[in-house]
Amino acid sequence: MFVAEASVPRARALVFGVSLALAAAGTLCGVFLAAAGPGRRQPKLALDALPLIARRLAEVPARAERTGDPAAQIVFLGDSMLLARAETGAVPEQVERLVDAAPRPARRVAVHAVAIPGSGPFDYYFAGDEILQREPDLVVIAFNLTTLSDTWRIAFARPQLAGLLSPRRIPEAVTLPLHWAGLTTDRMLSYIGLVRIGALGVWTELAGDQARVSHVPDRLSRRLARWAGTNAEERFERRRFLRNARHRPGTDRFDAVRERERFGAALSGVAPDHPVLRALGAAVRIFARESIPVFVYVSPANVENLAETGILDRAGLATTLQSIERVVVRANGRYADLHDLLPDGGFSDPAGHFSRGGDVDGTLRVAREIAAVVAEETAQLPVRR
């Protein structure tokens, strides 16, 4: 009995030692491959959002480049809902077309979408100073209710975008709940410094090497598991994916489990001090303080599907919408609630992208609502030269 009990620690030590040796070997292999493998495919990184945002911003002409152009420059901030294209264009493009096609347009507009899939209020705040430098005439922010959820935060947090912040914004930024965006103060300062010294290219290259190194032990583990004929982790990952992708029977809409993951926070009712709403208010104030009008609208959600799945809490949702309105108005922005604008047919997929043409053109309906506000706001603007 004593011998058997004494052998247990030795067995555990042996297993630990072998595991440590394999992990070390895998990491060393990864380091070698990263260092000796130029031209290898770059893995996808959250850091990729930085050059993507920079390319979007480059499409917005600065004030000095707009001499003699009377068109009001409109910047849209949002996620993939602004990028999902219908037959006649995405929402921003349709807004431009609708305003310019009015019988007597008060003023021609030029619309620019600074949007990336999965972006949210923290991203808009981080990019605010860069957008401010372009001196837009109007900023339109599409607020997606799913950005309030932990699921969204875990999947789409891009703390590296904090590198876009102006150093003068640091005292304000440290008062925000940066933890929600995966940030600490020291990381934020590091990111700002790296961008300011022009080290984005080196930063991206090192991050890619780090990602490749970290993936080597995982690939080694999967190969050993296949050789052994069992892989509990892979089965777990497959089950988790299936849970996240479950649909209602006979439909292409998400079921109650998935919809609760996406909208649960919004349906339970959030207060104005929710981290995402605090970031939204801060983003609006960046522009409002410079006398640039800001229009925030709640992007349409498939309320019919939420009701069909049995998770729709209208009272809780009303509380959330009131909180959003309160935050926007306090920051001197204009607010509109479009969350229930579209029926189920106005959405093209379970993720909630708007439909493309057909009986219910969701994209066009949304664009019409926004175009009316844009036309009204731009009519009141002086022509800057």
Instruction: Print the SS3 string covering 254-317.
Output: ECHHHHHHHHHHHHHCCCCCCHHHHHHHHHHHHHHCCCCCEEEEECCCCHHHHHHCCCCCHHHH
The packing angle between helices 232-244 and 256-268, to 10°, is 60
Closest CA to 188 of 173, 203, 200, 207: 173
CA-to-CA distance for 40 and 209, rounded, in angstroms?
10
Which distant-in-sequence residues (6+ apart) come within 8 Å of 283 by Cβ? 77, 121, 124, 125, 128, 141
CA-to-CA distance for 232 and 239, rounded, in angstroms?
11
Q: Is the separation of the CB atoms in 79 and 121 below 8 Å?
A: no
Helix, strand, coil proportions of the chain in percent (round to 5)? Answer: 60, 10, 30
CA-to-CA distance for 231 and 98, rounded, in angstroms?
55
> Where are the chain's structural domains?
2-43+207-241, 48-117+129-152+242-379
Return per-residue pLDDT of the chain as tens, 385 residues.
444 555 656 666 666 666 666 566 655 555 455 444 544 555 455 556 777 777 777 777 776 566 666 788 999 999 988 875 655 578 999 999 999 888 766 678 889 988 888 889 999 999 999 899 889 999 999 999 999 998 888 888 888 888 889 999 999 999 999 999 888 998 899 888 888 777 666 666 666 555 555 555 666 666 666 666 655 555 444 444 444 556 666 677 888 888 999 999 999 999 999 999 999 999 999 999 999 999 999 999 999 999 999 999 999 999 999 999 999 999 999 999 999 999 999 998 888 889 877 778 899 999 999 999 999 998 877 655 5
CATH H-level, domain 48-117+129-152+242-379: superfamily: SGNH hydrolase (3.40.50.1110)
Q: Is the separation of the CB atoms in 336 and 297 below 8 Å?
A: yes
CA-to-CA distance for 88 and 94, rounded, in angstroms?
7
CA-to-CA distance for 299 and 339, rounded, in angstroms?
5
Half-sphere exposure (Cβ direction) of 335: Cα atoms closer than 13 Å: 19
CA-to-CA distance for 95 and 100, rounded, in angstroms?
9
Which pLDDT does position 365 carry in this prediction?
A: 93
